[in-house]
Amino acid sequence: MQYINRGFYIGVGGTITYERAHKTREAIRYLFKHHPSSLLLETDSPDMPMMGRQGKRNEPAHVIDVVTALAHLVGSTTTTVINSTNENYYNCFLR
């Protein structure tokens, strides 16, 4: 929360696609509910493959896996996640 309170954004990456990443998933669930404007999407490409893609090169195009996992995690739609994080991207990088 110290980072959020200082105006930082939090990158949500492939770690959340792994069900065993309980602490990370709970933290991201909390942030999406209470501070949705603090989240950005990432893939950690070319490292850190998504669940189900182990042993393969990670690609930026796999960001949809993060979107899908985040939507499922927070009980939302992929459209809502995309719209929210696109707005955050704009606010972070283009303002």
Nearest to 63 by CA among 82, 33, 45, 43: 43
Q: What's the CA gap between 89 and 95, in Å, rounded?
A: 9
pLDDT tens digits, residue range 37-74? 999 999 989 988 999 999 999 999 999 999 999 999 99
CA angle 43, 27, 33 (to 5 degrees): 100
By CB atoms closer than 10 A (0-12, 13-18, 19+), residue 24 is middle
Architecture of domain 2-94 in this structure: Alpha-Beta Barrel (3.20)
Residue extents of the structural domains in the chain: 2-94
For the stretch 9-27, pLDDT in tens is 999 999 999 999 999 999 9
